[in-house]
Amino acid sequence: MVAPANISIESLNLMTLVPMLIPIIGALLILVIDLFKSEQDRSLYVMISLLVLGVDFVSLMDAAGVFNKNGTVSGVFDVMLIDGLAILSQFIVVGASMLFIPLALTHKRFHEFSYPEFFALFLFMIAGFQFMVATDNLILIFVGLETASLSLYTLIAMHNRDKSFEAAVKYFTMGALAAGFFSFGSMVFYALTGSVEINKIAEVLSANNYADIGFVLVGVVFLLASFGFKLSMVPFHTWTPDVYEGSSAALAGYMSIVPKIAAFVVAMRIFEFLIHSGVVWLEVVLYIFVVITMTMANVWALVQTDVKRMLAYSSISHAGFVMAAILIGSTQSNSALFLYWVLFSFTNLGSFSMLWISRQKNLPAHQQSDHSYNKFAGMIKTAPVAATIMALFMLSLAGVPPFALFWGKMYMISSAVTGGYTILALIMALNSAIAGYYYLKLIVYMFMKDPIVEDSGHIYSANATLPLKTIIGVAAMGTIFAFVAVNHLLEFITAFVYNSGY
Amino acid sequence: MLDHILSILIFFPALAAMLGFVVHKESMRSYGVAVATIEFMLSLWLWYAFDSTASGMQFMEQIALVPTFGINYIVGVDGISLFIIVLASFFTMIGIASLSSDTKDIKNMIITLLFLQMTMAGVFAALDAIVFYLFWELSLVPMLYIIGAWGGPLRIYASVKFFLYTFAGSLVMLVGMLFMAYFYFQATGEWSFAILDWYRLILPENFQIWLFVAFFMGFAIKVPMFPFHTWLPYAHGQAPTIGSVILAAILLKMGTYAFIRFSLPLFPDASVYFMYPIAVLSIIMIIYTAMVAYAQKDVKQVVAYSSVSHMGVIVLGTFALNVEGISGSIFLMLAHGVVSGALFFLVGVIYDRRHTKYMSEFGGLAHVMPRYATIFGLMLMASVGLPLTINFVGEFLSLLGFYKQSHILTLLAGTAIIVGAIYMLAAYKKMFFGVITKDENRHLKDVNKRELFALIPLVIITVWLGIYPKPVLGTINTSVESVVSLMHEKAQTQEAKMRIPNINEKSDSAKNSQGEAH
């Protein structure tokens, strides 16, 4: 006879669940509204989502306050783990989502935004990502990952174009493979240590002094491959450009930021202790991954003829750049990762939104694809403000000071220098120079070539409405005036990362 | 207001450029000239208020930017940077004034030039490595646009090459800066990018050598030193007149200025270690580009290569590592700015009339355009280094300085002046003397008032500072002496102690003897 479990509610610390429950409730609310009165305008759903995310953001600020006072909090049978990393990454997830969701209010009608399911799925996805980062339990990570990914596949497919289905199916297949790898890797670690919690795994492994190093490596290989897919590391990156091309520009920008920060946090939790315990093999493999991802993605980006595909490769390269933080594994590098990603989300969302507002329904004759380079030829003559803003985002992506991404790049390279990775620092610097070329190519098209079609200024903002312009304005302001905020951001992030022991 | 004069100098043109978007196209040129004149007046005021007897930094300002990581907005001037700032605002002024009103997109051009002026003032005033780097990189963007949008047929290739070359070099330099800050952090426990803080840090020689190389990559591409000079002929060849003028007069000086601001005082031992290799590179640069210049058919390329050649003398003077050489090289920076700037203006004058730069298209121009021929002749003589012109002072001092380090290398460099005379005089002969062979040349108009407005001041400066360089040279000297004595103090190796003269000893002994006399 099993004794009845006797657990006090307080010890469960249910407050740790609040930030995830808010978007879930919001999603259910949207579904309920649809149940009672369907055929509502999309603006209603956008605003409800925005409000829910706003409340979520406030609850995160609350959690940040608790963390500042009491340090790391765990709850629900120690499954939830609210440490600095969890809070910082949730800030990025929710913040970037708040910048993304108003992009649904386009001038042209895209039918996916007329479905309430789109917004419900979107909120479920956010909850998934939040679960994924706020735990060190491999099972919950897996559940969060799958919730988020399945929603995301559907969101992509809802953009009703031939290439969207291709993208969704491709992403789904690759994602399924990654999920398989992840569960297999977790299984190996569970078999080795009898636990699915990362800190317990670390304890057990160091207690027996990595006796079964062979099995550890097998587990690491599978986990690495699965994160390789999620973070689009070369050679697991092949889906990225196609998926970005197939989904709407706004969603592509979103995908280059939010899923990746969640994956980075999980990768940080898992690989950090392995690297610090001297698994040299992992260090070498990560080193190779980082360098190849950065360099190859840059080289491929050079030869793209479509701006969106170029940005897709560029975001792979940026992910490789940031992956270096996990390799270096110091407090400075981990802080640099978050700093970089916050600044990157402004700039990258901004540049994808610029593509989004220039989205046409039908392709003119001189364009092979939605956002081919020659579409932007001579933009300075026809739409000077838009061209300047786009150039601003490109310069920021290239790392030209004083724009946002420069500070992230600088701090990241500095962390490589401090961590003793001199060669890596040089490779990172030179990669930024290579990347300069393809960002410059767009600037050259916009500023130095003559327009192909006269009086074509309106196409660059054909899809623009006030909410979209506001989002771009926010992104542009964030990009220009980053230098004002960097100090506070850095102090905040460093304190959080340091206090969670990374 | 004097407390913030440097910030005003830096950000006034940027603010004016923003407001410039509102100004109507027809009035843009007047607006640009007005703004640039105010900027120039401010820089003259800076010179007036500058205490030329003090050697340290003046008009310092400090605002915290990212204090957690040791990055602060720190600006200040000393005798080394003061005149380059004045020169930059001067060239922006005459550059905008000399724009003809039928330039296409004149509004964009003037806004870009004003932004460029901000970055130029910023680079020379910055005393924090990251702020320096910020303006240094930012200066590429307006120049990219000027070359790429108003340049010749190959303009896109030229502008992208210019940008990428410099950008790649600067990123290596950035890694060097981050290392430097890290060493400072290790030594003191605090992050700092302030150059004056770094001056106090003494590094072991092997660290110095690596860091010197990293910084060198950034600076050498900018100068441009042989063999990194290949972007420059393209940039000059394709750039519009105003672009070439500012590129040659100011932007190239960023590299040589940075050598004096960073490389020498931060890495005295490495500077001595690399003195000969760099001297050899400079001499190759001087002689090789002079010979290339002789082979050109295009007069603008002649001026471009002669400009590279003279940059070699500047670098040589800098790496003399003594007061004469460094003061001479700083003076030569100004002289080179004035003279090559003027020569590019002059090439622009004839290009506006004939839309060609080939020397074979001209001949006998002295009959048709006497005033033009006179000014061109004067500037050309200055460029060759005729005594009593501005270039002579700088070249002489630079070579004199290096003569103390090595006789043979200096003699080799001296031959460059002769080669320079050959190609310049040959070019002059082809263009101005002989009979008029082309009918188009018979009725060319001589320089007009607008062009004279730009050229006459340059002529005056050329002659004035050639005859009486003291007001400028004295101020430069004071600051250079403090740099050299700092280098001597910091030097660790025997070789470096020997190569870098000890100034304090001299002044100490002078003081002692005075004391004894009393």
pLDDT of residue A190: 92
pLDDT of residue A454: 65
pLDDT of residue A1: 57
Kindly state whether B14 is in contact with chain A, defined as any CB-CB distance less than 8 angstroms.
no
> What is the CA A268 to chain-centroid distance, rounded?
14
Structure confidence at residue B450 as a pLDDT band (50, 70, 90):
confident
User: What chain B residue is nearest to A417 in terms of C-alpha separation?
Assistant: B179
* Helical (H) or strand (E) element with B60: strand B58-66
pLDDT of residue B420: 78
Answer yes or no: do A414 and B181 touch at CB < 8 A: yes
pLDDT above 60 (res B511):
no
Answer yes or no: do A413 and B175 touch at CB < 8 A: yes
d(CA A302, CA A440): 10
A281: left (phi over 0), alpha (psi -120 to 50) or beta: alpha
Token pair listed for B118: 């901000």
Token pair listed for A324: 């270096």
State ipTM.
Answer: 0.89
Cβ neighbours for B379, distance < 8 A, ≥ 6 positions apart = B339, B342, B343, B346, B458, B459, B462
pLDDT above 50 (res B517):
no
User: What chain B residue is nearest to A490 in terms of C-alpha separation?
Assistant: B68
pLDDT of residue A17: 87
Residue window 42-101, chain B: list those with CB within 8 Å of chain A.
64-69
Answer yes or no: do B67 and A487 touch at CB < 8 A: yes
Q: What is the pLDDT of residues B458-505, one digit of tens each?
A: 999 999 988 898 888 888 988 898 888 888 888 888 888 888 888 766
Structure confidence at residue B507 as a pLDDT band (50, 70, 90):
low
What is the pTM for the complete model shown?
A: 0.92
pLDDT above 90 (res B103):
no
Which of B174, B210, B215 to mutate against chain A (most A CBs within 10 Å)? B174
User: Which amino acid is located at A361 in the chain?
Assistant: K
Return the bridge partners of B62, or none. B74
Kindly state whether B412 is in contact with chain A, defined as any CB-CB distance less than 8 angstroms.
no
Answer yes or no: do B163 and A440 touch at CB < 8 A: yes
pLDDT above 60 (res B160):
yes
pLDDT of residue B505: 63
pLDDT of residue A458: 73
Q: Which residue has the higher pLDDT, B419 or A254?
A: A254
Chain B residues in contact with A486 by the CB 8 A cut-off are: 65-66
**Pick from B171, B172, B182: CB nearest A418:** B182
Chain B residues in contact with A430 by the CB 8 A cut-off are: 168, 171-172
With a pLDDT cut of 70, the percent of chain B lying above it is 97
Chain B closest CA to A369's CA: distance in Å? 24
pLDDT of residue B508: 52
**Helices and strands (H and E) in chain A: how many:** 21, 2
Q: Is A312:A300 a contact under the CB 8 Å cutoff?
A: no
| Residue B296: DSSP 8-state | -
Chain B residues in contact with A406 by the CB 8 A cut-off are: 134
pLDDT of residue B52: 83
User: How much of chain A is in helix, strand and coil states, percent to nearest 5?
Assistant: 75, 0, 20
Chain A residues in contact with B174 by the CB 8 A cut-off are: 410, 413, 429
Which of B139, B144, B167 to mutate against chain A (most A CBs within 10 Å)? B167
Chain A residues in contact with B164 by the CB 8 A cut-off are: 433, 436-437, 440
A&B contacts, CB < 8 Å = 91
**Pick from B108, B138, B168: CB nearest A430:** B168
Whole-number Cα distances in Å, A318 to A242, A259, A295, A324: 18, 14, 10, 10
pLDDT of residue B513: 47
Print pLDDT tens along chain A (502 aa).
566 767 777 777 778 888 899 999 999 999 999 888 877 788 888 999 999 999 999 999 988 888 888 888 887 788 888 888 999 999 999 999 999 998 888 877 777 888 888 999 999 999 999 999 999 889 999 999 999 999 998 888 888 777 888 888 888 999 999 999 999 999 999 998 888 888 888 888 888 887 888 888 888 889 999 999 988 888 888 888 888 888 888 899 999 999 999 999 999 988 888 887 777 888 888 899 899 999 999 999 989 888 889 999 999 999 999 999 999 888 899 999 999 999 999 999 999 998 888 877 667 766 777 788 888 888 888 888 888 899 999 999 998 888 999 999 999 999 999 988 989 999 999 999 899 899 988 998 888 888 777 666 677 777 778 888 899 999 999 999 988 889 999 999 999 999 887 7
Q: Which residues of B329-344 are buried (b: 16+ CB within 10 A; e: fewer)?
A: bbbbbbbbbbbbbbbb
pLDDT above 70 (res B414):
yes
Answer yes or no: do A429 and B172 touch at CB < 8 A: yes
Length of chain A: 502
d(CA A112, CA A109): 9
Average pLDDT in chain B: 87
d(CA A54, CA A50): 6
